[in-house]
Amino acid sequence: MSEQHWILTAHCPSQLGTVDAVTGLLYQQGQYITDLQSFDDRLHQHFFIRAQFRPENEFDEQAFRDAFQVRAEKYGMEWTLSPSDLKYKVVIMVSKFDHCLNDLLYRYRTGQLPIEIPAIISNHPDLKALADWHNIPYYHLPITAETKAQQEADVWKIICDSQADLVVLARYMQVLSEDMCAKLSGRAINIHHSLLPGFKGARPYHQAYEKGVKLVGATAHYVNTDLDEGPIITQGIEPVDHTYYPEDLTAKGRDIECVTLARAVRYHIERRLFLHSKRCIVFADSQ
């Protein structure tokens, strides 16, 4: 019996028989379902499903694809099939704050995130030593208003040359152009504190302290042309009180950013996400 698992995802207009289209074929072909999640969006009349399965005998990927395509065409399904251990190539972009980068690199190094990191890109030189320690190429690409177009062209070349599947903005403190956002649609994740939109600009935690906030958190979302307002993937939140000074709020917020971003990256590489209109359908797990 093979221990290789596969992930099948699909979505289509809502209609009778969509679950059976997936589970029926898996049963017929002797594939053991180890995880199954589905959702029917009744407001938009659209159906989503994710199935993880383990072949009980030798698995012929092309034969399975051919058989499922017949069913998919009947229901107008868009679908993907991939081995669960597929390692995504992830390019990380960062400025000076290193907490999210450090966390991602730790999870990469220990295998918690089964990814490859072909490049780290920054508009500052500060974190090169950290990249060097992990033997990851580090590209220092400074940016000004005058050089923004060329800098983004250089960034895009690195992304293309590395054949990146995903770009993670691990506290990259620059606004991407609309053109770059369009190029990265559906495959770039950003993280920011959840004090937005109430506390914009510099020193948000100092602003929050002055207002006596009782909750701090973080939001991970897909990048789009609406600044910090892309489809939300994950959010984290923790209670705070009057004993938290600005530096305490900042430390708490950074911890939450690390966990929230890592979860969003994991959900993406585990094919748990569906972009749907301006929303993100998330088949979360218990981890």
pTM of the complete model: 0.94
CA-based nearest residue to 198, from 187, 212, 182: 212
What domains are there in the chain, each with its CATH number? 6-83 (3.30.70.260), 88-282 (3.40.50.170)
Question: Which residue's entry shows tokens 């609309």?
Answer: 178
Q: Given pLDDT bands bounded at 50, 70 and 90, which one contains residue 204?
A: confident
* pLDDT tens by residue, 244-273: 999 999 999 999 999 999 999 999 999 999
Q: Which residues are catalytic?
A: 228
C-alpha–C-alpha distance, residues 10 and 80, integer Å: 7
Average pLDDT for residues 135-159, to the nearest whole number?
Answer: 97
Query: What is the structure's pLDDT at 4?
Result: 87
Q: How far is CA 200 from CA 162, 203, 207, 242, in A?
A: 34, 8, 9, 21
Residue 74 or 227, more confident: 74
Percent of the chain with pLDDT over 90: 86
**Which run of H or E residues covers position 26?**
helix 18-28
Q: Given this model, what pLDDT does residue 277 score? A: 82
**pLDDT tens digits, one per residue of 149-166:** 999 999 999 999 999 999
Residue 1 confidence (pLDDT):
42
Least confident interval from 38-47, 168-177, 277-286:
277-286
List pLDDT tens digits, range 183-203: 999 999 999 987 655 777 778
CA 282, CA 267: separation in Å to the nearest integer? 8
For range 72-90, the mean pLDDT: 96
Among residues 143, 165, 166, the alpha carbon closest in space to that of 154 is found at: 143
What sign does the CA torsion over 137, 131, 122, 124 have?
negative
